[in-house]
Structure formats: C-alpha cells, structure tokens
Amino acid sequence: MINEKKVVVIMPAYNAEKTLEKTFSEIYKGIVDSVILVDDNSLDNTKEVAKKLGITTIVHKNNLGYGANQKSCYIAALKENADIIIMLHPDYQYTPKLIPAMASMIAFGEYDVVIASRILTGSALRGGMPFYKYISNRFLTMFQNLFNGKRLSEYHSGFRAFSSTVLKTLPLGECDNDFIFDNQMLSLAFYYSFKIGEISCPTKYFPDASSINLKRSIEYGLGVLGVSLAYFLANLGVYCSKIYKKDAKKLDINAKLEYYGK
C-alpha cells in the first residue's frame, strides 16, 4: 500500500516464460499488495512459471487478443478492490523499478493516469528501439497531439498506471480486443477529463521482448489515426463513435475469470 491505497500490478502475458521471472523479481514488493497475470493462451510455459513464482494467474482458454487480455487484468484487479492498478508487461522491456514512483503520482491525488514514456529522455533509441518504430512513434504522437489537443511525449508505451476510478468510469467494455485498445483507453481518459501524467522510462529491445511485426505495426498505425479522428469528432460534438456514446459498455466486474492452479 501507499498512502492507504491498495496497489495491484497486472501483467497481460503471451509467451513470456523466458522473461517473466526476471521481471517479477524486480517488482518492489514493499508497496505492491498483489500481482495478477493473465495468460492469453500462450504456446509456452508462461502459466507454469507464474504459478511457480506464486503469482495469481488467470488463463484464457483461447487467444483473445491484447485488449481482451487487459480487460481480464483490470476486472481481476477491481475484484481485489485495488485502488491503484499498474500495467507492466512481463517481457522485461520496461523496468519494474518505476512502480513506486508511478503509484505515488496517483496515490497522492496528482494524477489519475500515469504513462511511462520512453521518449522523454531519449532512451528509446539507446535501448534498441528499431529506427522505423521510433519514426512511426514520433509521427503518430505528433498526429495524436494535434487532434487530441494534448502534449504527451508518447502514446504507445505499455507501462501505465491507473486509479480504480478510471477503470470503473471508462466504457472499456466497448473498446477493441486488439492492440488499438491502448489508444482507445487514452482517448477515453481525455474525453472523461482525467488527469494524465508522464514519467521517463528506460527501455530494452532484445529477442525475447515482445514486439509486433511490420504488417501488424502498419495496421496499428492506421488504427491510431482512426482513434484520433474519432476522438476529435466526438470532442467537437459532430459524431460519436460507439466508445463515446452515453450507453457505451463498461467493464463487467462480475465476469467469470478462470484462475489457474486453484
């Protein structure tokens, strides 16, 4: 806990057996009350490694996608009455050592959402981010800031923290089940006027770190442009796509989750 707020770390996992133990070992347990991993039907031994480490583990019977994985993670965290939820990828691309700082930014009421940015101190290229990914990141971020009216250094980090109020308020049940979920979530945070902060974060790119291929990257980039335009139109009151409508579905906190090893 921190400032009497319960802190839960969630890990959306897919084929993370080689990096999970290293990532978990660097989580500062002094303030983290619980760690939850959702295995999106991995082809390796991710769930077995998680069980050995004593991590609360949920397993999808089928591969549902990155967005669907996050939804299960957030539902599980809210079921444990988390006040602060930190999303950490188990592929060791981001340092878990920033968790106390990110949690503090929310625990003391300064922000509702915190993004760990690879761009703020120029660590992305030093950490091995492919140059084409860096250029894409910079172009998409510029486009998003223009249409969102914001000044974030990046929108594409997978290391984020949220207050439980954010997760209970945003209609995340309406969001996509694939990678574009991350951007839809941020656009909704803007739309609902939550305060978003950033913290600089070193990153590491190496063979065992997860990364989408060029084709998926292009699809993701086009999706990002679409999300930005949809937010722009909704914010102007011109046209609301489904995620911005008043009756958009929130997370189903009563959804049944399949816990592994219980």
Q: At residue 9, what are phi and psi to the nearest 5 degrees?
A: -95, 130
Long-range contacts for 44-52 (Cβ within 8 Å, ≥24 apart)?
Answer: 44/15, 44/16, 44/17, 44/18, 45/17, 46/13, 46/14, 46/15, 46/16, 46/17, 46/20, 46/90, 47/260, 47/261, 48/17, 49/16, 49/17, 49/20, 49/21, 50/13, 50/20, 50/260, 51/260, 51/261
| Dist. CA 63–CA 20, nearest whole Å | 19
The answer to whether the CB of 103 falls within 8 A of the CB of 6 is: no
CATH topology of domain 7-244: Spore Coat Polysaccharide Biosynthesis Protein SpsA; Chain A (3.90.550)
* pLDDT band, residue 125 (cuts 50/70/90): confident
**Residue whose tokens read 């656009």:** 187
Per DSSP (E only), the strands in the chain are: 7-13, 34-39, 56-59, 84-87, 113-117, 160-163, 196-200
| Dist. CA 126–CA 204, nearest whole Å | 8
User: What confidence score (pLDDT) does residue 212 get?
Assistant: 65
For all residues of the chain together, what is the average pLDDT? 93
* pLDDT band, residue 128 (cuts 50/70/90): confident
Per residue in 20-71, pLDDT tens?
A: 999 999 999 999 999 999 999 999 999 999 999 999 999 999 999 999 999 9
Query: ∠ CA(236), CA(240), CA(243), 5° rounding?
Result: 125
Q: Where are the domains of the chain?
A: 7-244
| Dist. CA 217–CA 226, nearest whole Å | 14
- What is the average per-residue pLDDT within 114-132? 84
Q: Report strand pairing: 196-200 vs 160-163.
A: unpaired
Query: ∠ CA(29), CA(169), CA(166), 5° rounding?
Result: 30
Please give the structure tokens belonging to residue 106: 């929310």
Q: Report strand pairing: 84-87 vs 7-13.
A: parallel
Per residue in 200-231, pLDDT tens?
A: 999 887 676 656 667 777 888 899 999 999 99
Q: Please name the residue ranges forming H helices in 80-210.
A: 99-107, 123-126, 131-148, 164-169, 181-191
Query: ∠ CA(152), CA(155), CA(158), 5° rounding?
Result: 130
- What is the average per-residue pLDDT within 127-146? 88
Residues of the chain with pLDDT > 90: what percent? 83
User: What confidence score (pLDDT) does residue 126 get?
Assistant: 78
| Dist. CA 142–CA 160, nearest whole Å | 20
